[in-house]
Structure 1
């Protein structure tokens, strides 16, 4: 026969355990719910950037990539500056890292020209998939450039990711195109851009970074513009405006998403770009990338996500 007090203790522990389980479930649901706005924000930002890429692919049929860089930043700079000043005041326009921002501006111009040129020669989905290699290059280049320590697991993930790149590019195969090196070059330049941001650190506002990364590409592209300039056609002016608006909104929303939730939560949704690139490419140009593009993209995506989670765990 059970002791009455022992039975009561068991009931008390069971009740406490049930409450703890319910509290844990409620906490997980609350955390998931709080992450939903950030996830929605980055997905919308990625949609805007993919729209920007689709518009750029259309406009490169008529204009040099460098002119697209100039027009995009010419229209975007007033928007970014007004938004930054409205949120943070005039001080956001000043920086103590002028030379570093100038270098980053040159990287932006080179990356944009490489990617826009690649869009003229490759399907939109394939070019997008190859740019996904940027996190792999960030990890690899952080060792010689920033002196960071990268463990064997992240090195292994990088090697697996580069295998995915080879699956897409297929060097030595019949389907190999040298144009594939252009979006790969974009990924390297983007990695250098992100690593240079670490040099600046958190001393400057993200809005200062956005103003500077719009101003310097405008200046550098303007210096070379006379050699490639084509007078814009009236029917293309709306396209240039869309290029600036979608690019600015995309970067702003993605930046905001990373402020709303941890990188490990929102960063994997960056890969929804492949979905939109496939849709835009098929609807607008009838592009149907080969199966190996998606196989390679899947390998790159899984490697990038693994590196992200290892980085989070290490910190």
Structure 2
């Protein structure tokens, strides 16, 4: 193996490790959020997480991206994306407070399907019949999981699907931003705008914080910011076709944490629906990589 190939292999291996650890960290972040929603509103949790993480995000942006990473030419676009992130996070925290962690996580994985559909509808991107078929299959998986019309149907299960739709809009909203801005600038302004906007509303939903919960708020900031940072760096080191599918390992962590903490066990239809959703999303990722390659 030549030195250049050896270096590329090490970078990719590091990216894979960072992606796996980052996904696990965000899964722990979600589990802590589920614990905190027993006593606090999702908006208060979101505000405190972002206000604690903001100095860390600013330091990372400055140390890695330089002083230029602290500036943006389109702050208004960042505010819009921050608002979308607030909506998505509140919906997700509300969902996991009332349903299983693994089930909610699996339903959120329809986001790539929404991204594909919205890209075709609003950005006129060409989407072939294979990817449209995968989108349709993914939504069949959603129907299998939420079981509309059945006695077991719960309207709360629609919330993670709404989260996926808002998240897809958030990801596509990155096209409004200056392409010269680094990923560290995007992270900084996303955290900052979310902290600013949630801070305006959070006082109306405030609950006095118990001293015994302070470590949970600190932990959710650490795991949330650390997870996002590691996943962002993973995409810089490894090809997207390698890093992106590893996001689905969140289902393993969500299932494990749900069982360990709350003794949650997904039933047969939930497992089948999740498998269909993951399969459809994985096919779309593979197809897009093949077309771009």
Fold match, TM over 0.5? yes
Who wins on radius of gyration, i.e. which is larger? 1
Q: TM-score, normalised by structure 1?
A: 0.89
CA RMSD of aligned residues (A): 1.9
Is 1:283 the counterpart of 2:260? The answer is yes
Q: Could you say which residue in structure 1 is the equivalent of 2:133?
A: 156
- CA deviations on 1:280-312 (whole Å, 9 max, x unpaired) are 101101111112111111111111111111111
Q: Distance in 1 between matches of 2:10 and 2:151?
A: 48
- Counterpart selection for 1:118 from 95, 98, 113: 95
- CA deviations on 1:165-190 (whole Å, 9 max, x unpaired) are 11111111111110011111111111
Is 1:242 the counterpart of 2:219? The answer is yes
Q: Distance in 2 between matches of 1:281 and 1:28?
A: 41
- Counterpart selection for 1:258 from 210, 235, 256: 235
Q: Distance in 2 between matches of 1:79 and 1:36?
A: 26
Is 1:36 the counterpart of 2:13? The answer is yes
Q: 1:30 to 1:309 in 2, by over 3 A?
A: farther
Deviation at 1:30, TM superposition (A): 8.8
Q: Could you say which residue in structure 2 is the equivalent of 1:95?
A: 72
Deviation at 1:88, TM superposition (A): 1.8
* Larger RCO (CA within 8 A; separation ≥ 6): 2
Q: 1:211 to 1:43 in 2, by over 3 A?
A: same
Q: Distance in 2 between matches of 1:163 and 1:127?
A: 16
Q: Could you say which residue in structure 2 is the equivalent of 1:134?
A: 111
Q: 1:29 to 1:74 in 2, by over 3 A?
A: closer
Q: TM-score, normalised by structure 2?
A: 0.95
1:289 counterpart SS class = coil
Deviation at 1:152, TM superposition (A): 1.0
Q: 1:93 to 1:32 in 2, by over 3 A?
A: closer
Unaligned runs of at least 5 residues, structure 2: none
Deviation at 1:39, TM superposition (A): 1.3
Deviation at 1:201, TM superposition (A): 5.3
Q: Distance in 2 between matches of 1:229 and 1:54?
A: 21
Is 1:51 the counterpart of 2:28? The answer is yes
- Number of residue pairs the alignment of both structures matches: 292
Q: Could you say which residue in structure 2 is the equivalent of 1:208?
A: 185
Q: Could you say which residue in structure 2 is the equivalent of 1:298?
A: 275
